[in-house]
Every structure is written in structure tokens, then in C-alpha cells.
Amino acid sequence: MREIVVIGGGAAGMMAAITAATKGGKVTILEQKERVGKKILSTGNGRCNFTNIQQDPACYRSENLEFPWGIIEQFPAQETIAFFLQLGIYSKNKNGYMYPYSEQASAILDVLRLELERLHIEILTEVKCEEIVQKRDGFLLLTNQGKIRAKRVILATGSKAAPVTGSDGSGYTLAKKLGHQILPVLPALVQLRCKENFYKGIAGVRIQGEVSLLVDGVCVAKDKGEIQLTGYGISGIPVFQVSRFAAIGLWKKKEVTAVLNFMPDFTKSQFLAFLKNRVSMRPEKTMEDFLTGIFHKKLSTLWLKMCRIQKEQVVSTLSEIQLEALAHLIQNFSVCVESTNSYEQAQICCGGVSTREVNPKTLESLYVSGLYFAGEILDVDGMCGGYNLQWAWSSGYVAGREAALK
């Protein structure tokens, strides 16, 4: 019988295994893909933003809001940085976002693999756990490669996001069969698809702005940054940050709207005065050139069309009503969200194993003694910017420590 079996060889699973082995546990990892840690290679656009030093409870989301921070505090960002420094990763700080100095995600995975090897952690690849049966002396794991006995189990199978890397949602089925409630699992940190028919004309435009997400007319989230306009809707980090709320709203069959403000640093009156000043500076210009130097021409053309302003119209002939309509549209560009992109495009998911059924200090199941959870399988998701990997490291550390000390 194996002492500790970690199901899932992603970031949380590897951290759990390393921590448990460091504490004296004998550990085996079961990974259904041909190698561990595949998802790490795609993080941070291949550069691996492995944590963020700007931390507070609001960076983590859950139906049980107090739960994530209690785990993060047990293994905070500074300990993550120190842990990887010990493994050989000298980090680079980019406005709080922490990367390996080489800016190679493969470096993070390489040092984790070397540590697994150094600690003599057994790794069984292409092994899919199909059922976990609780026994009097531990667990019986039924896999595609046969039966495995274990005293304690850490479930770190990930979510449904990026299934090509191994996160296929199978862990939810395992947890549910053991009596755990699974909260709706939805794509998060993902692009939003919108109903309007003008997107092909503005596809490829990148612009700074603010995204406010409204669900049934109530603003539930907002964020600033570079908005990316695509052939089907909106993308970019600020869209990712609010996307979980869009996914939940859509799942509840509510009306979801994104309001884009392309001049968020101006108040309404300031922006109107700004445009009036442009009129006075070059009154002879045509409207086709009026916004040149501020906004992409694709957007300017669209806005003029929506305001029914002819591009040949001379700027000095603009009426007060026309100018106010244009200013309002630029600061309140409302689009109707009809769906998120699929799990294949999502960086993470919201939802998962209810944290109200897990010990908030140890991550042990409140129903099944000796069963622990780590990583995305739990109903915890972080903001974009290294927070989801920090959750993986923190939850993996706590689950591994507790499984070894039990």
C-alpha cells in the first residue's frame, strides 16, 4: 500500500507531492497525461507569471469568500518566491508580477521536476483514476492501469479549463461520488462573445479602457487595461478579470452587458470639453480626421456611423447634440454578451468542490478522512496576474503538509 497518492501532476499536485515528501511522506503522483506540468508551459504566454506580490483577499473569488485567504496566508507569495529561489529560480519583478528571470515557463517546470526526482517521488504517467473507494485502512483507487491502494489521497486534478493539458473535469466526478457538492463549473479568465454585428470591422484593435460588467442592469465588476476587440466580441486582461461574473450571470439566464469606456480618465464634462477644444483648434477638419491621433480609425469610423455623423462633415458644423452623442458613445460603449468562449480557451474555471465541505485550515474533506484537495478542483479562482498559480502553490503546500503529518 502506498502512503500518499497525489492524483494530478499539475502545479498544485507537484507542490503537494514535494511538500509531503519534504515532511517525510512517501509519495506517488498519478498523472493521466504523458508528462507532468503541461499546463505550466502555457502560463504567462510561455513566460510563467508564477505569483504576484500585490496580494489581498479580494484577489481570490469563491462562493465562500473567507476560505481562499486562510490558505494563502499559510503559504504566501514571499514564501513562494523563496521556495523557487531555493530550487534555482531567480525571479524578476514586473509591477508586482513575478516571473523567472529567464522568462521561460519551462524553467519553473524543470526545477519542479528536478525536485520531484531529488525527493524520489514516484511518478506514474498515463494513469487515469476512474474511481476512489474508501476503505477502513485507506483508499482503493481504480485506474485504467489497475488497482492502487493508498493510505491518504490528495485530489489535484484541476478544473475543465484547457482540457488538452489534462484538466478534463474528471476530478469533479471522483469528488461527487465521495459525497461532495460540485458548484457549477464555468469558464473564467476567458474572452466574451457578443451579439452585435460590427465586430469583424473592428477586429484586431487594441485600446486602453475600462470594462464594466452589468448583470440585469447592476454593475457586478469592473477593470481597466488593454481591451482587445476580436471578430466575435471582446478580450484582453480587463475582460478576463470580469468574465467569471459574466459566465455566472449567463448560467443564471440573466441579461449580461459590458460597458466599455474608452476614455476612463476623463469625467463626462472633462471629455466633452476636451472634444470642444479639438473643434476650436482645427475647425476646418472633416469628421473623418477629427479623432485621428486619439483612437484607431476602425473605431472612429464605427462611432461616426452609430451617431449618424457623416465622415465628410466639417468639424465646425457639429451641433452640441452631435458632439454630446459622440462623447457619450465613446465613454459608454455598451455591448450585449451572449456567451463566453469555451473551456478550451479559458485559463481557469470558477466553481468546483464546495469549500464549505473542506477543512479551511487543512484542506481535508469534512466527509472523508484522509482525502485532501488542492488547486483548481476547489471552488476558488483568482484574478489574472499570477494569482491562480499562487493558489496552486498555497493549496498544494497545505494539502501536502497535512497529508504527511496525519
Phi–psi pair at 249, nearest 5 degrees: -60, -45
Write the CB contacts of 142 (distance below 8 Å, at least 6 apart in sequence): 129, 130, 131, 132, 133
pLDDT at residue 324 is higher than 90:
yes
Helical packing angle, 297-306 and 320-331, nearest 10°: 120
The whole-model pTM stands at 0.95
pLDDT of res. 406 = 86
Phi–psi pair at 260, nearest 5 degrees: -100, 125
Nearest alpha-carbon partner for 20 in 389, 363, 381, 352: 363
Write the CB contacts of 200 (distance below 8 Å, at least 6 apart in sequence): 231
pLDDT at residue 93 is higher than 90:
yes
For residues 390-400, give the mean pLDDT.
98
For residues 306-329, give the mean pLDDT.
97
For residues 60-86, give the mean pLDDT.
98
H or E stretch covering 129: strand 129-135
pLDDT at residue 405 is higher than 90:
yes
- In angstroms, the CA 5 to CA 44 distance is 29
pLDDT at residue 210 is higher than 90:
yes
Q: Do β-strands 371-373 and 146-155 pair in parallel, antiparallel, or remain unpaired?
A: parallel
Q: Please give the C-alpha separations between residue 5 and each of 14, 27, 149, 245, in angstroms, as whole numbers.
A: 11, 6, 9, 35
pLDDT of res. 44 = 86
Q: What is the dihedral of CA 330, 226, 349, 55, to 10 degrees?
A: -120
Model confidence band, residue 305 (pLDDT cutoffs 50, 70, 90): very high
Q: Please give the C-alpha separations between residue 348 and each of 4, 26, 146, in angstroms, as whole numbers.
A: 27, 30, 31
Average pLDDT, the chain: 97
Q: What pLDDT digit, counting tens, does each position of 265-287 carry?
A: 999 999 999 999 999 999 999 99
For residues 53-74, give the mean pLDDT.
97
Write the CB contacts of 45 (distance below 8 Å, at least 6 apart in sequence): none
pLDDT of res. 166 = 86
Q: What pLDDT digit, counting tens, does each position of 171-206 carry?
A: 999 999 999 999 999 999 999 999 999 999 999 999
Q: What pLDDT digit, counting tens, does each position of 143-157 carry?
A: 999 999 999 999 999
Model confidence band, residue 298 (pLDDT cutoffs 50, 70, 90): very high
For residues 33-44, give the mean pLDDT.
93
Model confidence band, residue 261 (pLDDT cutoffs 50, 70, 90): very high
pLDDT of res. 45 = 86
For residues 75-88, give the mean pLDDT.
98
- In angstroms, the CA 85 to CA 100 distance is 9
| Portion of the chain with pLDDT greater than 90, in percent | 98
DSSP 8-class letter at 273? H
pLDDT at residue 6 is higher than 90:
yes
| Portion of the chain with pLDDT greater than 70, in percent | 100
pLDDT of res. 141 = 98
Write the CB contacts of 302 (distance below 8 Å, at least 6 apart in sequence): 198, 201, 202
